[in-house]
């Protein structure tokens, strides 16, 4: 996998208040994007990708990755493990937040093959190629992922649909990114050094663009963290919290900041996010603390002080209450479960 710098999403997001909060979250989860398959299928074909397809070892498993597919030529059908069937075509960007089994097909193939049977080593380290099918109508795609140790454990991402499809041909930003990906594919084919790193960065941008559109198109009355960004009260509160998370927030102070009564603020938080405002503040501080511990440059006492706790003891108590383990165990690599807030049922999704 080719790592990339932290994603500063603010330049790709609209000027409305809500997406500023989205930008802050994306900075914390340390996105790392990569392109791992340059695929050409010709009808008839049917290829099934396992859950958590591993670009470093085709056919094996990988954790903590959301999968993106950009269809660059032709058309075909995507079948999800939850029974969803979707026709896809050139220009479509497919995002599967939680990788699960899924299948691409075209025409009427005699059998379905596993992705691990058809991938081959590409011209660049870490890049794989596929050239599979019966020689008929082509379907070409770029397969990539966006990965983070924290991404899939933040419950806000669990509220996304199992499959998100956007056309990149309908607006300037999406079209420009998709066009750039197509051009860089020529560099990949020619084994031009550095092309995979550039493609990885573009996968991150496509991911941010997908989330930006998702937030802007949510219907009124929807629930969850992304819907909360559009709420006039909770959205402003989230903006204040994320811009200054270690301020000694109280319900009274936060309600004054957003021009709301304490009652309305509490009701809106519970309706959209399922928790009171101060519970959200605490959970976000602990997530920021967990990120600092993961980096390993500070002691637990230093992280406790930096994140607004008066003592290491009070910090450790809050950390254990929310994550179910001590800060030391988390720092040493034990943090592999989702404890940031009430449990949310993961949506099925997928990966080639």
Measure the CA angle with vertex 145, ends 140 and 151; round to 5°: 155
pLDDT at 56: 45
What is the pLDDT of the chain when averaged over all its residues? Answer: 79
Q: Compute φ and ψ for 43, nearest 5 degrees.
A: -65, 145
Please name each of the domains of the chain with its CATH number. 9-216 (2.60.120.10), 231-334 (1.10.10.60)
Rounded CA-CA distance 177/277 in Å is 37
Other Cβ atoms less than 10 A from the Cβ of 9: the count is 23
Mean pLDDT of 117-132: 85
Rounded CA-CA distance 315/305 in Å is 9
Rounded CA-CA distance 163/214 in Å is 12
Task: Give the helix/strand (H/E) hosting 275.
Answer: none
Cβ(231)–Cβ(268) under 8 Å? yes
Q: What residues does 98 pair with on adjacent strands?
A: none
Ranked by mean pLDDT, the top range of 46-60, 156-170, 330-344 is 156-170
DSSP conformation class of 153: G
Of residues 73 and 13, the one with the higher pLDDT is 73
Q: Distances from the Cα of 56 to the Cαs of 39, 185, 266, in angstroms?
A: 16, 19, 47
Nearest to 5 by CA among 33, 43, 39: 33
Which tens digit of pLDDT belongs to each residue from 205-214?
778 878 888 8
**pTM for the structure as a whole:** 0.70
Which tens digit of pLDDT belongs to each residue from 65-97?
688 898 989 999 999 988 999 999 998 989 888
Query: What is the number of alpha carbons within 13 Å of residue 189 lying toward its C-beta?
Result: 11
């Amino acid at each position: 996998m080719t790592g990339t710098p932290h994603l500063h999403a603010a330049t790709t997001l609209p000027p409305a208040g809500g997406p500023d909060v989205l930008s802050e979250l994306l900075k914390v989860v340390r996105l790392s994007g990569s392109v791992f398959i340059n695929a050409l299928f010709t009808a008839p074909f049917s290829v099934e990708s396992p859950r958590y397809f591993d670009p470093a070892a085709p056919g094996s498993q990988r954790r903590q990755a959301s999968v993106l597919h950009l269809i660059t030529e032709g058309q075909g059908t995507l079948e999800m493990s939850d029974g969803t069937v979707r026709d896809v075509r050139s220009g479509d960007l497919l995002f599967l937040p939680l990788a699960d089994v899924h299948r691409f097909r075209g025409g009427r193939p005699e059998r379905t093959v596993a992705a691990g049977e058809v991938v081959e080593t590409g011209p660049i380290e870490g890049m794989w190629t596929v050239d599979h099918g019966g020689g008929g109508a082509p379907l070409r795609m770029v397969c990539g992922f966006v990965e983070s140790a924290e991404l899939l454990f933040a419950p806000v991402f669990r509220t996304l649909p199992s499959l998100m499809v956007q056309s990149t041909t309908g607006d300037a930003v999406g079209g420009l990114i998709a066009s750039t990906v197509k051009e860089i594919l020529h560099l990949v084919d020619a084994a031009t050094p550095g092309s995979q790193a550039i493609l990885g960065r573009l996968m991150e941008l496509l991911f941010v663009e997908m989330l930006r559109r998702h937030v802007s198109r949510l219907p009124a009355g929807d629930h969850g963290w992304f819907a909360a960004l559009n709420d006039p009260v909770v959205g402003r509160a989230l903006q204040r919290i994320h811009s200054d998370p270690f301020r000694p927030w109280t319900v009274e102070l936060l309600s004054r900041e957003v021009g709301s009564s304490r009652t309305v603020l509490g009701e809106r938080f519970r309706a959209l996010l399922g928790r009171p405002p101060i519970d959200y503040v605490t959970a976000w501080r602990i997530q920021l603390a967990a990120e600092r511990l993961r980096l390993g440059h500070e002691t637990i006492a230093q992280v406790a002080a930096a994140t607004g706790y008066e003592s290491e003891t009070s910090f450790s108590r809050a950390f254990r209450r929310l994550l179910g383990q001590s800060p030391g165990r988390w720092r040493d690599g034990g943090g592999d479960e989702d404890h940031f807030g009430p449990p949310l049922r993961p949506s099925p999704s997928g990966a080639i």
